[in-house]
């Protein structure tokens, strides 16, 4: 199929489904058509096909698209001038042949696990339109889970790629902190922010990841490591890999369906060893403290001048964050180093760890409380309990979607590797996909 | 911390930082601050040696 034909089919599908899913906030149709036509012309003239030739993709609207203001899910950023250039990751995906088709809905300023947005409306779950897509990359999960596009980019500070992957049933990669450039994206928590891809299969996920790797002076946290390509490694299987299952904290509060899903994946991988991460609850607490305080510092001027223009739920969390004593933040950063060292010791004995991505399947839109092990807790603050202790120290994770027989909704399991070992997590994801255990389910559509 | 003490902390802190707060925002700010301080306390009570280094290291 030509790039032009593929883009036209994608634009038609977006036109049909987006009015329900509300995944997109901008559709760059003319740009996409022009780019696709250029790809087709150069291919006809003898160019070698590119790894992502003609693949449509869309990006969370905190990622710069030349000519559009970078909204970051907010009303306030609509006053910003349009971006003058594309973000690094868009440039790299397009250099590999992918075609940008638009910008995606998200929770305001990425401080969200629900996919709801008071300005743009909620992005909806493709498997039950009355349920949450998850956040904050809700539009990314909805667009890929709903099969509007095969590939999307999102960001993950505390779980914002892995939570929508779980609720919407997509593959998602949160790489090692610093692996992929964040240049040209609107920040949230500089010491925790990551960008990464969503896809409907592991081949596309890995191909996009390969295309985006490499140093970038535009992001102070971006690694100087050369690209470590993984696509050619996906078929190597799992022989020789030692895989453990996280217990303790990572089981507390989970529904029976979540625990059964992790057990199903563990069985498929022959993973029988259960391990604990030391002080995981405290790690989640420290991530929370760093997030609310760094986020508050980022938005302090806007809180002073535009308080009424925020989503109230986000504003009030940020104001609270501005009031947390600095001494607690310093202690959280000291704890972070200690915890990092302890967790790396766990990887002396295993190559990979399994954990749930979320404590439950997608909640209903508008839900504000969560039943966590029989206790009612605030939903927004607790959806990410299993993702936060992992991203806190920047470990790479592939979220793999699994739908148990008879289950109505998907869930994701986190495949967690040591720093810089995305290759191992992606190999395991490919193995699970080939075995029929992990799969992006077809969206519900009349 | 008692509601009164938290409310005083919110009013004094936001005044110091120059953040205007509407009265109807107070219950939600207080609820969020309670969660943040509770989790901050969980970090605070964990004993680390004086030599413990923070995670981010400045490289000149």
Distance CA A101, CA A405 (A): 34
Nearest Cβ partner of B36 from A313, A324, A378?
A: A324
Q: First vs last Cα of chain B: how many Å apart?
A: 41
In a domain, A444, yes or no: no
- CB–CB of B19 and A319 under 8 A? yes
- What ranges in chain B are assigned the alpha helix state H? 3-17, 26-44
Phi, psi of A24 (to 5 degrees): -100, 140
Model ipTM value: 0.95
Contact A216, A88 (CB under 8 A): yes
- CB-based burial, A281-292: b 16+ in 10 Å, e otherwise: ebbbbbbbbbbb
- Chain A contact set for B10 (CB, 8 A): 319-320, 323
In a domain, A343, yes or no: yes
Among candidates A136, A113, A292, A329, which has minimal Cα distance to B32? A292
In a domain, A106, yes or no: yes
Contact A219, A183 (CB under 8 A): yes
Concerning whether A140 is annotated as a catalytic residue, the answer is no
Among candidates A149, A203, A154, which has minimal Cα distance to A180? A154
Tell me which residues of chain B, numbers 1 to 60, contact chain A at a CB-CB cutoff of 8 Å.
Answer: 9-10, 13-14, 17-22, 25, 28-33, 35-37, 39-44, 46, 48, 52-56
In a domain, A446, yes or no: no
| Cβ neighbours for A109, distance < 8 A, ≥ 6 positions apart | A72, A73, A74, A186, A188, A295, A299, A314
In a domain, A442, yes or no: no
- Chain A contact set for B54 (CB, 8 A): 330, 333-334, 336-337
The pTM for the full model equals 0.97
Give me the CATH number covering residue A413. Answer: 3.90.1300.10
Q: Is the peptide bond before A69 cis (omega within 30 degrees of 0)?
A: no
Concerning whether A75 is annotated as a catalytic residue, the answer is no
In a domain, A246, yes or no: yes
Residue predicted with more confidence, A378 or B20:
B20
Which chain B residue has its CA at the smallest distance from A326's CA? Answer: B40
- CB–CB of A289 and B53 under 8 A? no
Band (pLDDT 50/70/90 cuts) for residue B1 is low
Nearest Cβ partner of A320 from B22, B32, B48?
A: B32
In a domain, A170, yes or no: yes
Consecutive sets of 10 residues in chain A, 446 residues long: mean pLDDT of each? 97 98 98 98 98 98 98 97 98 98 98 97 98 98 98 98 98 98 98 97 98 97 96 97 98 97 98 97 98 98 98 97 97 97 97 98 97 92 96 98 97 98 98 98 85
Structural domains of chain A, count: 1
Domain extent, residue A274, equals 3-434
DSSP A140-183: HHHHHHTTS-SEEEEEESSSTTHHHHHHHT-EEEE--TTSS--T
Helix (H) or strand (E) holding A352: strand A352-356
Nearest Cβ partner of A289 from B18, B19, B39?
A: B39
Please tell me which residue in A74, A123, A136, A231 is annotated as part of the active site: A136
pLDDT given for residue A161 in this prediction: 98
Q: Is the pLDDT of residue B2 over 80?
A: no
Q: For residue B51, with 0-12 CB atoms within 10 Å meaning exposed, 13-18 middle and 19 or more buried, which class applies?
A: exposed
- What ranges in A45-137 are assigned the alpha helix state H? 88-95
In a domain, A210, yes or no: yes
Among candidates A29, A423, A409, which has minimal Cα distance to A230? A423
Cα angle: A402, vertex A404, A407; to 5 degrees: 115
pLDDT given for residue A338 in this prediction: 97
Q: What is the mean pLDDT of chain B?
A: 92
Please tell me which residue in A60, A133, A166, A174 is annotated as part of the active site: A60
Which chain A residue has its CA at the smallest distance from B9's CA? Answer: A323
From A230's Cα to the closest Cα of chain B, the distance in A is: 28
- Chain A contact set for B36 (CB, 8 A): 288-289, 292, 320-321, 324
CB pairs A-B closer than 8 Å: 114
Which chain B residue has its CA at the smallest distance from A341's CA? Answer: B55
pLDDT given for residue B56 in this prediction: 80
From A202's Cα to the closest Cα of chain B, the distance in A is: 32
Distance CA A8, CA A56 (A): 10
pLDDT given for residue B12 in this prediction: 98
- Chain B contact set for A323 (CB, 8 A): 9-10, 13-14, 33
Please tell me which residue in A123, A142, A155, A160 is annotated as part of the active site: A160
Decide: helix, strand or coil at residue B45: coil
From A328's Cα to the closest Cα of chain B, the distance in A is: 6
Concerning whether A123 is annotated as a catalytic residue, the answer is no
């Amino acid at each position: 199929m030509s790039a032009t034909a593929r883009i036209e089919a994608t634009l038609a599908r977006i036109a049909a489904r987006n009015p329900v899913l509300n995944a997109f906030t901008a559709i760059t149709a003319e740009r996409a058509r022009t780019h696709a036509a250029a790809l087709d012309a150069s291919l006809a003239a003898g160019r070698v096909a590119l790894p992502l030739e003609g693949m449509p993709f869309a990006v969370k609207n905190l990622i710069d698209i030349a000519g559009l203001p970078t909204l970051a899910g907010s009303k306030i950023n609509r006053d910003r001038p349009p971006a003058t250039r594309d973000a690094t990751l868009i440039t790299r995906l397009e250099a590999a042949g992918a075609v940008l088709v638009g910008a995606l809905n998200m929770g305001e300023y990425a401080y969200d696990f629900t996919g709801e947005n008071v300005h743009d409306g909620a992005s909806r779950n493709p498997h039950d339109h009355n349920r949450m897509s998850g956040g904050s990359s809700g539009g990314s999960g909805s667009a890929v889970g709903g099969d509007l596009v095969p590939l999307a980019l999102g960001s993950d500070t505390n779980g914002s790629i892995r939570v929508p992957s779980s609720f919407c049933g997509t593959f998602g990669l949160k790489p090692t902190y610093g692996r992929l450039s964040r240049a040209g994206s609107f920040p949230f928590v500089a010491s925790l922010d990551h960008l990464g891809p969503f896809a409907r299969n592991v081949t596309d996920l890995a191909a996009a990841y390969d295309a985006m790797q490499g140093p970038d002076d535009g992001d102070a946290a971006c690694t100087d490591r050369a690209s470590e390509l993984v696509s050619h490694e996906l078929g190597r299987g799992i022989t020789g890999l030692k895989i453990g299952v996280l217990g303790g904290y990572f089981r507390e509060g989970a529904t029976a369906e979540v625990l059964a899903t992790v057990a199903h994946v563990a069985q498929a991988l022959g993973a029988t060893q259960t391990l604990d991460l030391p002080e995981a609850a405290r790690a989640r607490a420290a991530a929370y403290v760093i997030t609310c305080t760094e986020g508050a510092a980022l938005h302090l001027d806007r809180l002073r001048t535009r308080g009424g223009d925020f989503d109230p739920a986000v504003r009030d969390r940020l104001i609270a964050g501005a009031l947390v004593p600095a001494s607690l933040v310093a202690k959280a950063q000291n704890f972070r180093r200690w915890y990092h060292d302890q967790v790396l010791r766990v990887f002396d004995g295993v190559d990979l760890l399994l954990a749930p991505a979320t404590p439950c399947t997608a909640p209903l839109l508008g839900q504000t409380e969560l039943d966590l092990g029989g206790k009612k807790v605030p939903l927004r603050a607790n959806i990410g309990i299993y993702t936060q202790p992992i991203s806190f120290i920047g470990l790479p994770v592939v979220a793999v979607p699994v739908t148990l027989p008879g289950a109505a909704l998907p869930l994701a399991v986190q495949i967690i590797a040591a720093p810089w070992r995305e290759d191992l997590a992606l190999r395991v994801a490919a193995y699970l996909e080939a075995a029929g255990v992990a799969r992006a389910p077809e969206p519900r559509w009349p | 911390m008692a509601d009164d003490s938290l409310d005083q902390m919110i009013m004094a802190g936001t005044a110091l930082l120059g953040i205007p707060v509407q009265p109807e925002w107070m219950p939600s700010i207080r609820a969020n601050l309670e969660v943040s301080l509770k989790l901050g306390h969980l970090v605070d009570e964990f004993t680390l040696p004086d030599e413990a280094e923070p995670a981010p290291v400045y490289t000149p």
